[in-house]
Structure 1
Amino acid sequence: MPRTRRPRTFIAPLAAALLLSGTASCTEATSSTSAPVAISVDAAANRRPISPLIYGVNFGTTATLRDLRVPINRSGGNSASAYNWRLDARNAGKDWYFESIAVNPADINDQFGDRFVTLTQAAGATPILTIPMLGRVAKVGPQRQTLASFSIAKYGPQPNFDVDGTRDAGNGVAMGGASITGNDPNDASVPDDPQNEQARVVALVTQFGGANAGGVRYYAMDNEPSLWQLIHRDVHPTGAHAREIADKTIAYSRAVKTADPQAKVIAPEEWGWAGYFHSGFDQQNAVAHGYDHAPDRENETQGMDYVPWLLSQWKAAGHPVDVFSLHFYPQGGEYAESGAADTPDIALKRNRSTRDLWDPHYTDPTWINSVVALIPLMRRWADTYYYPGTPIALTEYNWGGETLMNGATAQADLLGIFGREGLDIATRWGTIDPSMPVYKAIKLYRNYDGNGGAFGTTSVAANVPDPDTVAAFAALRDSDHALTLVVINKQLDRSAETAVSIANFAAHGVAQTWQLANNQLARAQDVHYTNGVLRATLPPQSVTLFVLRGPAS
């Protein structure tokens, strides 16, 4: 598990504030004991361009980026908040015993500097680099040895420590269970400021050119700053005030744009639901006092929610932010880095919870206990409190189940939702490899035949009766005017008989078919469709791509 990862499932609102089988064949349906799932596609309705940047990842290798034709690659996560570009050293905070570690250039999952830019551009992709705003960054010893923020020799015994590495590095908790306070931040970090990060961008421009000349185009402003008091409490033990984040974003954005005026700044990179509405200071305060009298809401944001207030402050300062970004992870156990068991209950939650991204009638049943409809919410916030039309991004998301077909169906669902709902940028959190079903789900959209075959570029209407069981997404492909249709059978143990009615496209023809089932992505039998109806039987837990060619009617 890469040390840049960290837990994402919070099971209580207050804590969150802080913190099968199936055949791989696809055949035309002949008979069924139940009515087929009625899917309707209209190639002339709900047309919307699909941004290619929704197919991004975090920490992708050159090989992964090439094979999946990934257009954008983010270097972020908790380590990025304390990355020292001059020393090429990082500190993942609570994720790994608050150790400041020299980056290993051979570790393909932990690039933060020019190596990351090089490997990303080698695949023809665009990098996103994270600019720290924490105020302190990692330092290492004279021989580049690891340094500990909570040295056991200095601060006493601690119940957990790095048994496989620097054994002096404790977890910052005393033997009685209380957090160690009053540590010296100079033990494992040095001060950082906008001028130092500006010098970093200058160095990148010198090496790679400016944003409009083949260099780094996107810079993210830190990572989940309302959790600094948890993740990086060794150097920022008090939750960040709303004003601190508003002002720091402006200052660091100016530093970036002074070095490269064409660069694009991404912010605020907040972690999740509680982090959208409450500053880090108010989240920390809520542990003991709840949210009835949140100090920052009362004294700094004048009653406004945290993220909308940030947007309003940035608009008042000009245009420091170019892309409005958030992070989101489902909170019902669908995604957990601790290795929680994937049960049928979790699988069904995974099938449903993608509604959090779009459905105004779906109430999240977890501690969130609210309608999320995140993509429309982000669009509304950007248009209301900042500049209408500002690009919106999810720079971290993950629905879990990486080694399961249930995870693959969720991933395919997410990519379809991103395109249909008009998200501008998305980068999936977590490293992936070709053995994983989720990897193949992305490949189905981006390079299903190994020769650049991809889902279409203009989203069109595709309606289903129940997206929790069978979901569908359609798009026209500009390159050859094909109609591409992804149908996802999420059902755990039941095939789906489908009848797809097709309007405003050729009424007769042959659909080339590619299918992901049983963790195998392969060409399936072509399907003939007539009178504007395509019929097919889809295996349980499968993702099927139909490619229909023919002139629009």
Structure 2
Amino acid sequence: MTNITVDASRNRHPISPLIYGVNFGTTRQLQLLRAPVNRLGGAAAEVYDYQSGARNAGNNWFYESYPSNKADILAQYGEDFVALTQGAGADSMITIPMMGWVAKLGPNHARLSSYSIAKYGLQKSTDAQGMTEAGNGIRLDGSIIHNDSNDAMQPDTPAREATWVRSLLKNRRTGETRYYLLGNEPSLWHENRRDVHPEGVHASELLAKTLALADAIHRADPAAKIVGPEEWSPIGTLNSGFDIQLQSSKGTATPDRVRETGGMDLLPWLLRKWKGAGHPVDMVSVHYYPQSNQYSDDVSEPMQLLRNRSTRGLWDANYHDVPWIPVNTALIPSLRAMVDRDYFRGTPIAITEYNWGADKHMNGATAQADVLGIFGREGLSLATRWIAPPDGSPTFFAMQMYRNYDGRSGSFGDVSIAASAPDPDTISAFAAERNADHAITVMVINKQLHEAANIHVSLRSMPDSGTVETHTLSLGKLSTSLPTGYRNGVISSVLPAQSITLFVVHGHGS
């Protein structure tokens, strides 16, 4: 028997509806999930050229620049992305290039390669599936090719990007919030964008670029919400890209930490510098992926168990993700404390990329449900999953459980309340009060791979009797049971193995 306690009088705080966002959701997905925000992000977005529609894949695919394909949701950029997002009544988050380079195309929108075999000779790997002329920039002897940055890219400036921002204003609707993101994971530019930024970004360079781009966007759109620094956490928030690059090649060398940040970690230093410059950033954002391949499709039993417990990285100060990361993240409370201390207290905090993998398996679904519950309980301001899970997948349904469990906009509550379970690695629980009808919603996630869970939910600071609606996701399918009564402030139920159950409690006299 697992005893769960829900207390409607304790730990009360609003749950931001913006935590239920996605990256690159279609209009239909956004509608089904009632997703409030849709992000255009990732490595290709940080070098998108709004004039030609060109993108560049960087080291993800042979440093090729290529035109956008409007038939592909992941290639919806600019006005097209805004339009499909508006069609679902959601707000857009748009990555604005910050590195100083964007993609370019050849005559007649032809693809270009940063490491042409004709120009630079044979290379260790080439694009055998498409542009066979494109290499990976590494010679047969293993040496790195130092290319001409203009081969497949072109210089860019904040003023040029501000022109794009102004062009997007004509489509803004009344009441719509427009979020603009400052680049994408700059501490990895030397890896992802070696063709144009082979040296890791210095702390001082990152500061200058964020301030310049934020100022240009605010001038172009005074109502804009600026989001940054879009770093990957935790490593990208500790050291500059330049120090990360040196550490990977020379061990412990961290000259930027010594010369530029005065011994401080990168993000708190950046926050203090931003504060000294005024209020350039409206929302402080990072990315988070558990670092033991949880975001893959691996559903071996050891991986499923690891996926179950690795959500602790979002909140548990005693949880250590992997040995090579030097800190325990406790990401959300740590980020909240850092922003309150080093920037402006109460500034919204966001995780604009995250993923726990296994989208088509119930283990991925239970992890996703756990993550969304944690976001609400821990007071995160905004989150966008990378990317929207496939329609009809268990993970898609897990997201739907929070925002549209009945297909009629039925949702998890708006005010988080206390919920406790003995072992969140096996059974986790989250609870909230719904403002519209004052129902209490309790989400219970049975993460156990093979065992059903016999649970008792004790309801405190709410009526002793009432009715309960039960909605369940099990074996990849959603189901709803007829309402039943509860008495003496206790709900008893048996939850299937690897399942998500939402109890909607209507107390008599509540």
TM-score under structure 2 length normalisation: 0.98
Structure 2 SS opposite 1:186 = coil
Unmatched tracts of structure 1, length 5 or more: 1-35
Work out which of the residue numbers 218, 222, 230 in structure 2 matches 1:269: 230
Identity %: 52
2:160 corresponds to: 196
- The counterpart of 1:118, out of the listed 83, 102, 106, is 83
Helix, strand or coil for the counterpart of 2:478? strand
| C-alpha deviation, 1:365, in angstroms | 4.2
- Relative to the length of structure 1, the TM-score reads 0.90
Q: Does 1:97 align with 2:56?
A: no
Q: Which residue of 1 aligns with 2:92?
A: 127
SS at match of 2:457: strand
**What does 1:196-235 align with in structure 2 at a 5 Å threshold?**
196-208=160-172, 213-214=174-175, 217-235=178-196
Cα distance in 2 for partners of 1:204, 1:215 equals: 12
Matching residue's letter, 2:145: I
CA contact (8 A) 2:465 2:508 kept: no
Quote the Cα distance in structure 1 between the aligned partners of 2:155 and 2:389: 34
After superposition, residues 378-389 of structure 1 pair within 5 angstroms as 378-389=335-346
Equivalent positions of 1:120-159 (< 5 A) are 120-159=85-124
Alignment of 1:12-23 (within 5 A): none
1:271-310 Cα deviation digits (max 9, x unpaired): 122111010000001122222x401000000100011111
- After superposition, residues 173-188 of structure 1 pair within 5 angstroms as 173-181=138-146, 183-188=147-152
Return the offset for 1:527: 4.1
* Contact residue 172 and residue 180 of structure 1 kept, 8 A: yes
Q: Is the 8 A contact 2:237 2:265 kept in 1?
A: yes
Q: Contact conserved, 2:285 with 2:351, CA < 8 A, in 1?
A: yes
Q: Which residue does 2:331 correspond to in 1?
A: 374
Listed one character per residue, the Cα deviations across residues 529-553 of structure 1 (whole Å, up to 9, x for unaligned) are 2100110000000000000113566
Residue range with higher mean Cα deviation, 419-428 or 164-173: 164-173
Equivalent residues of 1:37, 1:465 under 8 A apart: yes
Tell whether 2:453 aligns with 1:496. yes
Q: Distance in 1 between matches of 2:56 and 2:320?
A: 37
Q: Which residue in 2 is equivalent to 1:27?
A: none
Range moving further from structure 2, 168-177 or 73-82: 168-177
Among 265, 282, 298, the residue aligned to 1:322: 282
Partners of 1:410 and 1:73 lie apart in 2 by 21
Cα offset for 1:435?
2.7
Aligned partner of 1:106 in structure 2 is 71
Q: Secondary structure at the match of 2:109?
A: coil
SS class of match (1:500): strand
**Is 2:467–2:507's contact at 8 Å kept on the other side of the alignment?**
no
2: CA distance between counterparts of 1:420 and 1:193?
40
In 1: Cα distance, 2:373 partner to 2:509 partner? 22
Query: Paired residue for 1:241?
Result: 202
Aligned to 2:363: 406
| 2:18 and 2:381 in contact (8 A); partners too | yes
8 Å contact kept, 2:29–2:388: no
Show the 5 A alignment for 1:369-518.
370-518=327-475
SS for the counterpart of 1:471 is strand
The residue type equivalent to 2:268 in the other structure is P
Q: Is the 8 A contact 1:510 1:528 kept in 2?
A: yes
Please report how far the alpha carbon of residue 267 of structure 1 lies from its aligned counterpart in structure 2 after TM superposition: 0.4
Please state how far the C-alpha of 1:177 moved relative to its aligned partner. 2.1
> What residue in structure 2 maps to residue 29 of structure 1?
none
Counterpart residue number, 1:30 = none
Aligned to 1:362: 319
> Does the aligned pair in 1 maintain the 2:466–2:508 contact within 8 Å?
no
**8 A Cα contact 1:456 1:483, kept in partner:** yes
Deviation of 1:369 (Å): 5.2
Q: Secondary structure in 2 aligned to 1:460?
A: strand
Aligned position for 2:38:
73
CA distance in 2, matches of 1:144, 1:90: 11
Which residue does 2:219 correspond to in 1?
258
Q: Residue 471 of structure 1 contacts residue 487 of structure 1 at CA under 8 Å; is this kept in 2?
A: yes
Q: CA deviation at 1:370?
A: 3.3
Q: Which residue does 2:266 correspond to in 1?
A: 306
SS at match of 1:137: strand
- Give 2:320's aligned amino acid: T
Deviations 1:341-360 (A, max 9, x none): 32111101111010111112
- Hey, what's the Cα distance between the residues in 1 that align with 2:59 and 2:322? 29
CA contact (8 A) 1:481 1:551 kept: no
Mapped partners of 2:477, 2:449: distance in 1: 16
In 2: Cα distance, 1:59 partner to 1:176 partner: 39
C-alpha distance in 2 between matches for 1:272 and 1:527: 44
* Amino acid across the alignment from 1:308: P
1:47 aligns with 2:19: no
Aligned residues of 1:73 and 1:427 also touching (Cα < 8 A): yes
1:160 aligns with 2:125: yes
What SS class does the counterpart of residue 271 from structure 2 fall into?
Answer: helix
Aligned residue pair count: 510
Aligned mates of 2:134, 2:57 — CA distance in 1: 13
| Matched-pair contact (CA < 8 Å) for 1:357–1:372 | yes
Per-residue CA deviation, residues 58-115 of structure 1 (Å, 9 max, x unaligned), is 0000000001100000000000111000111111200111011111122122212110
Post-superposition offset of 1:430: 2.1
Which secondary structure does the structure 1 equivalent of 2:150 belong to? helix
Q: Is the 8 A contact 2:100 2:155 kept in 1?
A: yes
- AA aligned to 1:481 is H
Offset at residue 47 of structure 1 (A): 0.4
- Once residues 523 and 342 of structure 1 are traced to their aligned partners in structure 2, the CA distance between those partners, rounded to angstroms, is 27
**Which fold has the larger relative contact order, with Cα–Cα distance below 8 Å and residues 6 or more apart in sequence?**
1
- Cα distance in 1 between the residues matched to 2:323 and 2:395: 24
